[in-house]
Structure 1
């Protein structure tokens, strides 16, 4: 006999008018939130399929009324060298991910599985840095990169990625959940700490690494302010900075073509999230702070 999982409230509780009203209000709020989040995406999609005259018409229309202008996407693709800026964005993403796994992964492994003196104090120090607004260290970071000669290079993104306290603590909390006995057995067999990290910790950390990869990809895809500070060559801009400089700030570019470019840029992160969303909650659960 199949048994259904019982929730906090029984079927009898759901029949009460007060509870039904409460659930109705909750569903209404969720529906309003979903519509408010989907509305900008749908506006960009439908405006990208209109003629420029229809986009600028008043009162505005939601769905195209004079045919679907699929050629807008081809014109938007040719207006901007999207493959070049996409390669730059992927280079930033891959470099940040490698630095996160190697540098932050080894640091988190050291704090979690090695007898580092005052490891709890060090972890608390990294936790405190999360309360510092990121805008306060933009200028110091820029000056440091300038002194190192890393401005206008992809290393200006990779080096700060190795100083992310949030990613470090997320990895450390995940490593804390791994059984210490596995690493002790590997050390008894003669494995070095580096081998324990590379052959035990990293393969077991695929869920949290997948979660971090999604976060890093989202940051690399959406960040435009920091690249505009450290990148001075047009051919090295990531996609978000190129969109801001050449599309958002462009003069003389038709609105329908502008919306077509913006909608094409929206699609990849949406697809990535819908494909890998199960790793986000799983990774955060496995890497969450324990009470």
Structure 2
């Protein structure tokens, strides 16, 4: 008799009417979720391809009756998208550097070094996860103002080095690395900084790839904090520019607005689809110690 691999639902389970009904309901729920997520994205895409009169017509149409591909070229030239994109990438690169160096050193120290009161220090950082982020927006703003760092990218880079959640993920990953590797390196005379960059960092590329996607998503989508600390076109990230020059502008044609929103929403989706395996792998590895 041939032995079959048993999954969550085996062929034997599917012979039961009750299981088939439950399985069908699950598939239906997934389809509803997929449609509810894809519908607003596709509506935005197709509205960016319609004439402005058709976008504002009632009843609305899903597919364009007249395809106007020139809307996207007008949208691209409407504002300095490359310049605002560069500002967003500067925020991402600085935030990622703070995540790797500052938070990475902290996680490595708590995981592999004999830090005094190590457990209490770790618990202290974990307690901060229960504090709502809105409670420290004003203190952070006042501190940055006193330091003269408003309207500079340091207003993003410095707070990025204080994420307890990212530290927890990295520490759990470092805990899974065998301590004998670092002991052998110390016997050979390697410093702890060298242990971090030459041993811990290469072995932790999956978790850093995961964090890079999270940091990128945060830098791309964040609007509220940049609108508080940035006050000029030369420093505005993409999200602030979209709100200021697209969403809040009444005289701009609606189809051009949809085209701009499509242009700025597609890159994160593409990046996620390309690197989604790193997210799943990194979270699975970082959440299991051993």
For the criterion TM > 0.5, the same-fold answer is yes
1:32 aligned residue = 32
1:116-148 deviations in Å (ceiling 9; x for gaps): 112111111111111111111100100010011
Query: What residue is the counterpart of 1:50 in the other structure?
Result: 50
Matching residue of 1:155: 154
Q: CA RMSD in A?
A: 1.4
Q: Structure 1 stretches (4+) deviating beyond 6 angstroms?
A: none
SS in 2 for 1:110: helix
Q: How does 1:49-68 map to 2 (within 5 A)?
A: 49-65=49-65, 67-68=66-67
> Which residue pairs with 2:276 in the alignment?
277
Gaps of 5+ in 1: none
Structure 1 residues 100-115: aligned runs within 5 Å = 100-115=99-114
Give the TM-score taking structure 2 as reference length.
0.97
Look up the match of 1:248.
247
CA shift, 1:93, in A, is 0.2
Deviation at 1:198, TM superposition (A): 1.2
- Corresponding residue for 1:14? 14
List runs of 5+ in structure 2 lacking aligned partners: none
Q: Using the alignment, how far apart are the partners of 1:259 and 1:9 within structure 2? A: 43
2:288 and 2:108 mapped to 1: Cα distance? 16
Q: Which residue of 2 aligns with 1:209?
A: 208
Instruction: Tell me the matched-pair count.
Output: 290
Per the normalisation by structure 1, the TM-score is 0.97
CA contact 2:176–2:289 (8 Å) conserved in 1: no
> What residue number does 1:143 align with?
142
Q: In structure 2, what is the Cα distance between the partners aligned to 1:103 and 1:245? A: 33
Alpha-carbon distance between aligned partners in 1 of 2:9 and 2:262, rounded to the nearest angstrom: 43
* Secondary structure of residue in 1 paired with 2:189: coil
Trace 1:61-140 onto structure 2 (pairs within 5 A).
Answer: 61-65=61-65, 67-140=66-139
Deviations 1:234-291 (A, max 9, x none): 2210000100111111120000000000000011101100110000010011111549
Distance 1:8 1:36 in 2: 26
The answer to whether the aligner puts 1:287 opposite 2:286 as a matched pair is: yes
Distance (whole Å) between structure 1 residues aligned to residue 225 and residue 4 of structure 2: 51
